[in-house]
Structures are given as structure tokens and as C-alpha cells.
Amino acid sequence: MRECGDCTECCRSLAVYIKDVNYKSPIGKYCKYVKKDSGCGVWNDDKSRHCKRFYCGWLLNEKVPAKYKPNKCGVVFKYEDQNRNYAQYWVNERDFKNSKKSMKELLQLTPARENIRKTKVIA
Ligand code: SF4
Ligand code: SF4
């Protein structure tokens, strides 16, 4: 089974809203609770409730090549349906040179639905 290990890409690629403490973090900014070497600093806390509902495609599907680990390729994705026919993507074009190319390759494996935004480019 795959593990996040040194990756924390979803903690800045997705917008964060933690209602309990009225904390918001926009797309592209690291959540203030992230510990860069060890992941979420509040994982055992109720604060991370919202994040526990995010199912990272790379983590779930071991058939997706290892090179697409989000902190290696700059793309985070999640499946949009149970059969994993569609996915939603977030691409970090700022910090990863080949992220657009990686996203194109990932789209070949799992397309994005037309009515779902394919990318959220990190500013
Ligand atoms: S992007 Fe995926 S692999 Fe990386 S920290 Fe988030 S859940 Fe883990
Ligand atoms: S609360 Fe934890 S898991 Fe959620 S974005 Fe912040 S650091 Fe990441």
C-alpha cells in the first residue's frame, strides 16, 4: 500500500477551510498545519476532518506509475467516480518544470470530465 512519505502536495494544491478554527488557506499556499518532513501536524485532531475526505488518486491506485507521485511530478488528482473513469486535476506549474507534460500523460490514463475543471493552476 502506498504512503504519502515526504509528499505534502495536497496541503497546498487544494484550498483548505477548517471551520472549527475559521482557518482558510488558498490554492497554492501551504496549510499552516503542514510539517514539511512529516506531513500533517494535526492529523489526529478533528481539525483535519475536511482533509480526510480527500482521496488522492496516486495513493489509491498503485497502477499509476510511481513517477506521478505528486511531489515528483507537480500534479495532484482525485477520481471523480467509483470506477475511476474520470479524475480532477490540480497542476503546479510554478515549482515543477514538467508538470504540464505529466498532467497530459495522466489525462491519457484517466480523462477529466468536460464539465469538471481540469486544472487549478497554482499561482
Ligand atoms: S498529494 Fe497524495 S501522496 Fe501527496 S501528501 Fe497528498 S495524499 Fe499524500
Ligand atoms: S490540516 Fe493537515 S492534512 Fe489538512 S491541509 Fe492542513 S496540513 Fe494538510
CB-CB contact of 91 with 100 (8 Å): yes
- What distance in Å separates the CA atoms of residue 111 and residue 42, rounded to the nearest whole number? 33
Strands (E), 4-100: 16-18, 23-25, 34-35, 39-40, 75-79, 87-91
Calculate what percentage of the chain has a pLDDT beyond 70.
Answer: 99
What is the pLDDT at residue 38?
82
**Ligand 2 pocket, Cβ-based, cut-off 6 angstroms:** 11, 16, 31, 33-34, 40, 42, 47-48, 51
69 CA → ligand 1 middle, Å? 8
Does the Cβ of 92 fall within 6 Å of ligand 1? Answer: no
Going residue by residue through the chain, which has 123 residues, state the pLDDT in tens, using 9 for 90 and above: 999 999 999 999 999 999 889 999 998 899 999 997 789 999 999 889 989 999 999 999 999 999 999 999 999 999 999 999 999 999 999 899 999 999 999 999 999 987 777 777 776
Q: What is the grid cell recorded at 118?
A: 481540469
